[in-house]
Amino acid sequence: MGPETIVKPPDEMPVSEIERRLLAACKTIRALPDTDRKLFLIRSTWPDVLQETLDAYGYTEAMMPRFRPSPRDVSDCLVALAWVRCLKREEFRFIWWRSFDLSFRKMAGNIHRTDETARRRYRDALLMCWYQANYGGAS
């Protein structure tokens, strides 16, 4: 083996595994109930009034099935989210948006840049999380 050969440690996780766990953690956070939040909702005792004919007769658009986290997803959630602590808020939002299966074109529209810029910023955020997961002390 020459000096140009890089030997990967056996316990190093690939970027694809980091990405899968981060996106599952974001989806898990959205799926878990927030019991404290219900105290802040203001509700009326009056029944809801249907204003639209489509609402009154039950015409709705097809919806994606709701994400149901497994016990493994719930236990892995905090570990995966510990890796994003190194990111700034504007860097983390690319991972958050991607967890909604948002395309890079839509992300680019949100930041008023090109698709390639959105893809590059997402990749950079993932690589920072990869480094944090493998070499930053978080497990």
Average pLDDT of the chain to the nearest whole number: 82
Q: How sure is the predictor about 11, in pLDDT bands with cuts at 50, 70 and 90?
A: confident
Q: How sure is the predictor about 138, in pLDDT bands with cuts at 50, 70 and 90?
A: very low
pLDDT in tens, 64-75: 667 788 888 888
Domain limits, the chain = 14-31+67-139
Distances (CA, A) of 16 to 39, 40, 51, 87, 91: 39, 38, 47, 18, 18
Residue with tokens 């930053």: 136
pLDDT in tens, 74-107: 888 999 999 999 999 999 999 999 999 889 999 9
Q: Would you mind telling me the total number of residues written for the chain in this entry?
A: 139
Q: How sure is the predictor about 139, in pLDDT bands with cuts at 50, 70 and 90?
A: very low
pTM above 0.75, yes or no: no
Locate all alpha helices (DSSP H) within the chain, ordered by sequence. 15-31, 53-56, 71-82, 89-99, 104-111, 115-135
Q: What is the pLDDT of residue 65?
A: 67
- 119 exposure class (CB count in 10 Å sphere: 0-12, 13-18, 19+): middle
